[in-house]
Amino acid sequence: MSDALDNDDLDIPLPDSSPCLQGERVAFTGTLASMTHAQAHDLTAEHGGEAVAHVSRHTTMLVVGEEGWPLEDDGQASIKLQQAVEQINQGTPLRILRESEWLQLLGLEQRDRDVQRVFTPAMLQQKLGIPVTLVRRWERLGLIQPVQRVFRLPYFDFQEVAGVRRLQEMLTSGIPRDRIEASLSSLLDHFPSIDRPLAQLEILSRDSRVLYRDAAGLVEARTGQRLFDFDSGNSVRCDTLARLSESEPVKGESVAAYELSSGEVTGADERPDTIRMPQISLADPDRWTAEDWFDQGCRQLVDGDAVSAIESLRMAAVECPDDPEIHFYLASALFQTGNSAGALERYHMAVELDHEYIEAWTQLGCVRHLQGDLDGALAAFDIALTSHTDFAEAIYHKSQVLAEAGRLAEAVALWQRYLDLNSAGPWADDVRTQLAEHAEMTAAQS
């Protein structure tokens, strides 16, 4: 008979497994989407690791934040990321992890879901400060793509939009596109998905100037300046030729030469994926289509010129009076100029044309609320929520109206519902504050 005894027989407790970051020296770079750097340092210590401020040969892990790309204001990759790549090339056993991978390592599933969350255009405006009209324009250009769509309402990946915003900020500040492109390309070995922002960078850099072709050649949309007279037999790829970057102006060089150097201008019969440029002329606006006027109005809204946008969008509505999206954007432009009555009428037209246009119902409710019509606002929010019960934006706005109407029990239920749906959403902190204030008030009364 064996004298060996099981651990259970000896009743000796087994040691706990080591913390997941035991022995790790962790540095962080870029903006974290789920927390601050200070909170990340605390979490690192809680899980057995040591947070370090700099990358050295003793660093074992670099965590890259996922709110935008880890690029400095000069367009170069962050210093810590460059140092980490250098250490890896020298044979240092250092790992580069995306923020979401680090959260998975720590077993923080909820935090990881927060990083991977999806937002509506209005939620992105609140969270990232990007106007709804700009979010929608980026969608129309193919810069961002909805993860899902509920009727007309798109939901976008937060990280993708944050990345585009970062690229736009650098281009706007005057950073050359080639420098940003080189920095992103240098990260390909560690971030295979970098090909997506490279494509976005190409579209962004070409979008600031839109060129239209008439019978005589190309015309710059904003100034009406004619750029080049080329043979109408040429054709262009619909996703590239019409746009040139203001950061890369064509000075003393024909636009055709610029495009030929990129291999984009071809003979009409050489590629099946090419189309002819639209045959419109800024000198003859009577030839513009509803789409032309609509695009012009959207650009003017993005530029903050709501007055001009109103006129362009009215022209689009004349050409296509049954398009609810035109009326929706016209309502937004009217509201920006202080014409809430006109905005309300246009929102009504949008929902009459498309009863399940839940964004329009929600905006209609917000305007009603501002006008002091609480019952009308609640009715509009209810219609939106009937079509989309998990529409966090409508839930939040309805809760605010209920609180103002003194229906606090109903408001509290919606605040809790909002946090269940979107604990990291743009109004989450406000909701938590209101819940805490309500709890204090209830405790004081009891």
On the question of a common fold for 25-115 and 285-445, the answer reads no
CA distances from 407 to 138, 334, 361 (A): 39, 32, 22
Architecture (CATH level 2) of domain 285-445: Alpha Horseshoe (1.25)
Contact 402, 434 (CB under 8 A): no
Condensed to tens digits (0 to 9), the pLDDT of residues 26-81 reads: 999 988 878 889 999 999 999 999 999 999 999 999 999 887 777 888 888 889 99
Q: What is the pLDDT of residue 17?
A: 57
What tokens appear for 1 in the block? 């008979």
Contact 325, 119 (CB under 8 A): no
Condensed to tens digits (0 to 9), the pLDDT of residues 310-348 reads: 999 999 999 999 999 999 999 999 999 999 999 999 999
Q: What is the CATH code for 25-115?
A: 3.40.50.10190
Q: Which of 33, 31, 80, 74 is nearest to 169 (CA)?
A: 74
Q: Which of 221, 203, 205 is nearest to 213 (CA)?
A: 221
Average of per-residue pLDDT values in the chain: 79
What tokens appear for 369 in the block? 């609320």
Contact 304, 322 (CB under 8 A): no
What tokens appear for 273 in the block? 């994926």
Burial (CB < 10 A; 0-12, 13-18, 19+), residue 291, is middle
Q: What angle do CA 323, 375, 310 make, to 5 degrees?
A: 30
241: pLDDT confidence band, cut at 50, 70 and 90? very low
Q: What is the pLDDT of residue 375?
A: 97
424: pLDDT confidence band, cut at 50, 70 and 90? confident
In whole angstroms, what is the distance from residue 334 CA to residue 344 CA? 9
Highest mean pLDDT among 80-94, 291-305, 329-343: 329-343
Question: Where is average pLDDT lowest: 19-23, 350-354, 427-431?
Answer: 19-23
Q: Give the burial string for 192-208 (b: 16+ CB within 10 Å, else e).
A: eebeebeebbbbbbbbb
Q: What is the CB neighbour count within 10 angstroms for residue 180?
A: 25
Tokens 């497994």 belong to 17
Q: Is 418 strand, coil or helix?
A: helix
Contact 247, 177 (CB under 8 A): yes
Q: What is the pLDDT of residue 302?
A: 87
Q: Which of 394, 333, 407 is nearest to 368 (CA)?
A: 394
Indicate if the pLDDT at residue 358 is higher than 90. Answer: yes
Q: Is 238 strand, coil or helix?
A: coil
Domain positions in the chain: 25-115, 118-206, 208-267, 285-445
Q: What is the CB neighbour count within 10 angstroms for residue 267?
A: 11
| Mean pLDDT, range 189-206, rounded to an integer | 78
Condensed to tens digits (0 to 9), the pLDDT of residues 111-165 reads: 556 556 788 999 888 888 888 888 988 898 888 999 999 999 999 988 888 888 8
Indicate if the pLDDT at residue 13 is higher than 50. Answer: no
| Mean pLDDT, range 285-297, rounded to an integer | 85
- Residues forming beta bridges with residue 54, ordered by sequence position: none
Pick 427 or 423 by higher pLDDT. Answer: 427
Question: Where is average pLDDT lowest: 98-102, 169-173, 176-180, 238-242?
Answer: 238-242
Q: What is the pLDDT of residue 114?
A: 56
* Parallel, antiparallel or unpaired: strands 95-98 and 61-64: parallel
Condensed to tens digits (0 to 9), the pLDDT of residues 242-273 reads: 332 333 333 333 222 222 223 333 333 333 33
Amino acid letter for position 366: C
| pLDDT > 90: percent of the chain | 43
